[in-house]
Amino acid sequence: MISMKTTSDYWFTIEPYVFVGLTNKRVLLYNTLDGVIIESDKGEVVELLRETLQVENCGVVLLTNERYKQKNVNGFIRELREKYMGDVIDVALSKGKPVQLLPYFNFPDKHEIYKKHNFSSLKNVLENLSEISIHVDVTTDTTKLILFLQSIPGSPTFNIIGNIRELINYSEILSCFEQCPSPKNILCSYKNVIALQPVFGNNFNYRISVDFPMDWQQWNLSRQILVNQTLPVEYVFNVTSDEDCLQVEHLVEQFSIENYRLNPVYTGNNILFFEKNVFLTKEDILSTPMTIKDFFTRQAMNIYDFGKINIMQNGDVYANLDHPVLGNINTDSIYEIVHKEVEEGKSWFRIRNQAPCNDCVYQWLCPPPSNYEIEIGRPNLCHVKQ
């Protein structure tokens, strides 16, 4: 520990692997190497960090001896050094002001992101397409759909959603996917499981949704079909109450289901269920380890939506079904659709930059906004009080 000299001033800095959350009244430092945090609501500490993060200070600020002696500042710096999150350097030991990497990352707006990543080119725009969900029913024009899918470059994940047996000739769609190396998932209700032809047997995964109350006859039939095909299966249980969750526990135990997840569904009158099981607490937010890259990502894009599009039964395309349509496969190319989302869309770059999240030190530790915020009509789903 540097000794306290009566006439010495210091350079104060924080380490580049430490992320800083800062508001007008509070500061949080998060060590991305070990998950240790420091929080303070002391005005002197908040102001010190505010000065340090100013671009013109290059991550280093002069700390006068008088300021260092302030009780709150001194205690904060001692904790900072004990947790290897920052340091102070006697100015006498430095020939000039040191330079430190700023431990935060921020683009002024999404157009800066596009410039940085050169999204303007066809190649770079389409490289960001990672997952395509195709919603099908009896009205789906399989011929036009296949032509559109064949124009998509790369190997994004394909999800076929709906009752496949409603398609006039679903084997054409499956044959189209058979020829591409992409991951392929069939998403359907347990009531609509079909036995795939042997030729498709080893190239698809099932994601089976289950609603309550259940039709046990259909459940047993679907279980038999899936067991006979020995395909990878994930069950998605749509739950709206604690009672539904208990039913899931019984099903998982009774049928030895290993691969499953719960999908809370908002009904408009089960907000208490969501407040109990979905809303985040401070402990929830801090329980997931974060890297500097994770913080950067959450400031730049929505990891739930980025790179994903939905093709509807009538050919309309959305990045997120709760946001405006981007185009139609019958009139627009895949490039035009993706480019529109990049330039005008509301989904891929939807981040926590609005009130009240923009005045919270946990702003970038929280997951990005999901569809739950849209459905419930609240910008934040948490119990955190600032």
Residues 265 and 141 in one domain: yes
Tell which wins on pLDDT, 203 or 370.
Answer: 370
pLDDT recorded at residue 229? 83
| 26-62 per-residue burial string, b: 16 or more CB within 10 A, e: under 16 | bbbbbbbeeeebbebebeebbebbbebbeeebebbbe
Does pLDDT of 145 surpass 50?
Answer: yes
**Lowest-confidence range among 14-18, 166-170, 252-256?**
166-170
The pLDDT-based confidence of 294 (bands split at 50, 70, 90) is very high
Residues 76 and 191 in one domain: no
49-82 confidence digits (pLDDT tens): 999 999 888 889 999 999 999 999 999 999 999 9
Which structural domain range is residue 173 located in? 110-376
Q: How far apart are CA 146 and CA 120, in angstroms?
A: 27
Are the C-beta atoms of residues 188 and 161 closer than 8 Å to each other?
Answer: yes
Mean pLDDT of 354-367: 94
Does pLDDT of 243 surpass 70?
Answer: yes
Q: What residue spans of the chain are helical by DSSP H?
A: 43-52, 65-68, 71-82, 110-117, 122-127, 142-150, 170-178, 216-229, 242-254, 271-277, 282-286, 292-300, 334-344, 371-376
Is there a domain that residue 125 lies in? Answer: yes
**Backbone phi, psi, residue 213, to 5°:** -75, 160
Residues 81 and 150 in one domain: no
The CA dihedral of 209, 212, 218, 220, to the nearest 10 degrees, is: 90
The pLDDT-based confidence of 98 (bands split at 50, 70, 90) is confident
Is there a domain that residue 104 lies in? Answer: no
371-382 confidence digits (pLDDT tens): 999 999 999 999
Q: What is the per-residue DSSP string for 32-45?
A: TTT--EEEE--HHH
Does pLDDT of 196 surpass 90?
Answer: no
Give the SS3 label for residue 104. Answer: coil
Query: What pTM value is reported for the model?
Result: 0.88
The pLDDT-based confidence of 240 (bands split at 50, 70, 90) is very high
Are the C-beta atoms of residues 159 and 133 closer than 8 Å to each other?
Answer: yes
Is there a domain that residue 386 lies in? Answer: no
Is there a domain that residue 100 lies in? Answer: no
Residues 207 and 61 in one domain: no
Does pLDDT of 154 surpass 60?
Answer: yes
pLDDT recorded at residue 208? 97
Does pLDDT of 105 surpass 80?
Answer: no
- Nearby residues of 89 by Cβ (< 8 Å), 6 or more positions away: 10, 11, 13, 98
The pLDDT-based confidence of 108 (bands split at 50, 70, 90) is very low
Q: How far apart are CA 197 and CA 219, in angstroms?
A: 21
pLDDT recorded at residue 372? 97
Distances (CA, A) of 239 to 189, 244, 314, 332: 14, 5, 29, 37
- Domain count along the chain: 2
CATH of the domain at 329: 3.20.20.70
Closest by CA position to 376, among listed 290, 276, 289, 267: 267
Q: How far apart are CA 39 and CA 181, in angstroms?
A: 48
